[in-house]
Structure 1
Amino acid sequence: MRQLVEAKVKPKSVKHISNGYPLLSKETIDLSGMTVEEGDILRLVDTQGNYLATAYYGIQNKGIGWVLTQKEQEKLDKTFFLQKISKAVGKRTYFYQAEDTTAFRVFNGEGDGIGGLIIDYFNGFYMVSWYSEGIYSFREDIYQALNEVVNVRGLYEKLRFNKNGQYIDQDDYVSGEKGEFPLIVLENGMKYAVDLNDGAMTGIFLDQREVRKALRDRYSEGKTVLNTFSYTGAFSVAAALGGSLSTTSVDLAKRSLPKTIEQFAVNEIDYEAQDIKVMNVFDYFRYADRKDIKFDVVVLDPPSFARTKKMTFSSAKDYPKLLKDTLKITNDDGLIIASTNNASFNMQKFKKLIDKAFKEANTRYKIIETHQLPKDFTVPNNFPEFNYLKVVFIKLMN
């Protein structure tokens, strides 16, 4: 049974909450001596008891809850979620009407007013990702609201939170039509195969849509392209459709091979003419350097953190070294597309990491293009730190 709990905001955080900052951390509120459960409503007050905002309690990797409203009388019921989802859908009218794109984000968590809730659209199907047990406790109202706002062909969900000490990362059919996977979606006219019922990810990262389009339209023709940490080869498909001379896709996961072949195949690209390697990217760098293999374009989109038997990689600490290794296998007038989704630093810091690498390598460069989250990935007003994606197109000037 959900309860209403009055929680005092610590003095140093009052201004933050009053200004609309949506995320609650353990340092934000004082819950000492209280019993609070996932999904409980928090009435946030200052030390004098004055109302500040209403939030829900839900533990995820970012914090312990999210502010939902600063209107004291507003109820967190189906009507509330209906209004939020309606507004979000209205912002995406362009995407719903686009003939060349049938996969996009419909609701982007805190950017659309409900932290911990993500809704993506895939050619008529909707996939809802829940990032805490707290927000999941509102599941019934949210699904009813979604079905009232849009025509849901089929509904799937992904649970991405800890429950009873065990991490849950699963997906499941909820209602409507059951999808036949792979489902083919369009992205700026390119085809991608997705599966909404196959583990943590779908087969494509929607936030890189405009980066793939830039690669296809402006930087691939007549070029040799290396796609590192390639996942299902989405960047490789974009490069091939852009007229690249060749693509090389490298990823450590064994399933990347059949998934990359699948992506080439649905675009009627001869995958046998492409190079797909299942191996550690850092081992491949050493191999390519040893064999004097160089590329015109290199795509770098590493995970924020990765650990293997041999090494640990942290983008916040190790990106300069990754870039220096990349320079060894990039042609003198080549292009590096450097990307990170690490939310712990901003674009300015990312550019400093890039500059550090090039100075240490004594190599001149020019930034010719930058990207952050596309417009369907709404970010809260005045809080750019939630714009986690940073992509920099770096032209070598040797």
Structure 2
Amino acid sequence: MIEVVLKKGKEKAVLHRHPWVFSGAIENVKGKPANGDVVKLIDAKGAFMAYGFYNDRSRVALRLLEWDETVEINEQWFRGKVADAVAGRGDILLDGVTNTCRLIFSESDYLPGLIVDKYAGHLAVQVLTSGIEKMMPCIIDELQRLLNPESIFDKSDASSRNHEGLETQNIVLAGNHPPERVEVIENGIRYNINIAEGQKSGFYCDQRDNRKIVASYASGKKVLDCFSYTGGFTLNSLKSGAASVTSVDSSVLAIDTLKENVLLNNFDTGKVTTIASDVNKQLRKFREDGELFDIVVLDPPKYAPSRSALDKASRAYKDLNRLGMLLLNKGGLLATYSCSGAMNMETFKQVLAWAALDAGKQVQFINQFCQPEDHPVRSSFPEGEYLKGLLCRVF
């Protein structure tokens, strides 16, 4: 096995089992590994440190897999990690009210660059590293053995594949092409989702618990669901007896699917107003029209893809939340989220404080949100904690 030598003084993160080694921490490579090959990482004295995927195209040159030198990184190793991850989601899938969840969450499940989401009898995967790409035949076979899915569809269209020298692809890996509409159940609510054409892998199951929490306040309330996508917060609010819900998203396809989902659950269509529009523009229009709500949900896309973008993203989050606060009745609730890993909770609270100051509002933080158990955070990889949110009472 080809050896990669770590620079002296760069051992701490590896010893703490952080799975990333950046290219600047590498002294030299003893040979010419192909991108995606498993290599042995050694320290400056030649002592073993870990095994990992190598890629000279990526800023993260090594994605570490195993710290025990006696363990062989082979097909069975990868099958074991897949089986462990699937077994860890058993409680979610056996609760009788949910048949969709994240089965494999990349580094947090010790499979760096692999995302697998279950949608009823279908699986959607995203392959984001060259090492996982090489191991996909055995991974697909293990998923078939464990779950016997109707289809496994590759949604590897993320821009991060470019950093690994990989092309994007949307293809069937096993079984039949998933149908245009796949019906899933989450929290007892039915959704039609489009795996092949939908955003990300087709659905955002990371907000499952948070939708229930926000909906618990919605009875008799006038709710505004921004960046609604196919209606997660909208449908949960309706189920909890909201007086009305206004759903805003820039995607016409998402709004059309949301309307289908309202009908699918036999909810009162007269309680739902859907608007296909840029959210920030629509919030300003609501402000101009004097529209007010009891609950405002803000679940925007990732504004800060990296730490270098954090300052710009903070300004965007501040302006968005300022607008949201201005649309609330006195004592109303703002449920606001960030899915940017670079934005930690402390910074997010500060952004909300700035937004409140600009809006001339007083804000109480009454609850904090995080990602659910099928999106675990590995103790040695805090970067896996990307989703955070706050429930705010605004005066």
TM-score (norm 1): 0.90
**Contact 1:227 / 1:247 at 8 angstroms: preserved in 2?**
yes
SS in 2 for 1:89: helix
2:67 pairs with 70, 73, 79, which one? 70
Pair 1:357–1:22, CA change in 2 (3 A):
same
For 2:344, the equivalent position in structure 1 comes to 346
CA distance in 1, matches of 2:197, 2:376: 26
Alignment partner, residue 196 of structure 1: 195
Once the two structures are TM-superposed, the CA of residue 358 in structure 1 deviates from its matched residue by 1.9
Please show how residues 147-162 of structure 1 align to structure 2 within 5 Å: 147-159=144-156, 160=158, 161-162=160-161
**Residue 83 of structure 2: aligned partner:** 86
CA root-mean-square deviation? 2.6
Match of 2:108? 111
Give the drift of 1:267. Answer: 1.4
- What amino acid is the match of 1:357? A
> Which whole-Å CA distance do the structure 1 matches of 2:301 and 2:155 have between them?
20
Who is 2:386 aligned against? 388
Q: CA separation of 1:236/1:139 partners in 2, compared to 1, >3 Å: closer, same or farther?
A: same
Bigger mean CA offset, 315-324 vs 287-296: 315-324
Aligned residue number for residue 183 of structure 1? 182
Do the aligned partners of residues 128 and 276 (structure 1) sit closer, same or farther apart at CA in structure 2, a change above 3 Å counting? same
- Please say which of residues 60-69 and 363-372 is displaced more in the overlay: 60-69
Q: Distance in 2 between matches of 1:62 and 1:288?
A: 44
1:361 and 1:200, CA in 2 relative to 1: closer, same or farther beyond 3 A?
A: closer
Distance 1:360 1:219, change over 3 A: same
Deviation sequence 1:181-227 (CA, Å, 0-9, x none)? 311111110111122222543442010000111122x1111111111
Hey, what does 1:379 align to over in structure 2? 377
Number of residues of Structure 1 aligned to a counterpart in Structure 2? 389
Task: State whether residues 85 and 146 of structure 1, in contact with CA within 8 Å, keep that contact through their aligned partners in structure 2.
Answer: yes
- Amino acid across the alignment from 1:297: I
- In the alignment, what sits opposite 1:310? none
Q: How does 1:1-398 map to 2 (within 5 A)?
A: 4-31=1-28, 35-58=32-55, 63-159=60-156, 160=158, 161-162=160-161, 168-216=167-215, 218-271=216-269, 273-305=271-303, 314-396=312-394, 398=395
Note the alpha carbon deviations across 1:49-71, whole angstroms, 9 max, x for none.
11100010248988344111012
Offset, 1:35: 4.3
Gap change, CA 1:198 and 1:59, over 3 Å in 2: farther
Aligned-partner Cα distance in 2 for 1:335–1:387: 24
- Asked whether the 8 Å contact 1:84–1:112 carries over to 2, the reply is yes
| Shift in Å, 1:390 | 0.3
Query: Residues 45 and 52 of structure 1 are in contact (CA less than 8 Å); yes or no, is this contact kept in structure 2?
Result: yes
1:365 aligned partner, one-letter code: V
Superposition TM-score, scaled by structure 2 size: 0.90
Offset at residue 165 of structure 1 (A) = 9.5
- Give SS of 1:110's match: helix
| Counterpart residue identity of residue 145, structure 1 | E
CA–CA distance in structure 2, aligned partners of residues 351 and 166 of structure 1: 37
In structure 1, C-alpha distance between the alignment counterparts of 2:76 and 2:35, rounded to whole Å:
21
CA gap of 1:62–1:199, structure 2 versus 1, over 3 A, is farther
Deviations 1:123-153 (A, max 9, x none): 1222221012332111112122223333333
Is the 1:58–1:135 Cα contact (8 Å) retained in structure 2?
A: no
Question: Partners of 1:117 and 1:202 in 2: how far apart?
Answer: 12
1:118 Cα deviation from its structure 2 partner: 1.2
- List gaps (5 residues or longer) in structure 2: 305-310
Structure 2 vs 1, CA of residues 59 and 377 (structure 1 numbering), >3 Å: closer, same or farther? Answer: farther
Residues 213-251 of structure 1, C-alpha deviations (whole Å, 9 max, x = no match): 1122x1111111111122222211111121111111112
Distance (Å, rounded) in 2 between the aligned partners of 1:171 and 1:282: 31
For residue 137 of structure 1, give the secondary structure of its aligned residue in structure 2.
helix
SS of equivalent to 1:52: strand
* Amino acid corresponding to residue 204 of structure 2 in structure 1: F
SS in 2 for 1:184: strand
Amino acid at match of 1:9: L
1:367–1:237 Cα change, 3 Å:
same
Structure 1 distance, partners of 2:23, 2:369, is 32
In 2: Cα distance, 1:326 partner to 1:269 partner: 26
- Whichever residue aligns with residue 66 of structure 1, its letter is R
Q: Distance in 1 between matches of 2:163 and 2:107?
A: 25
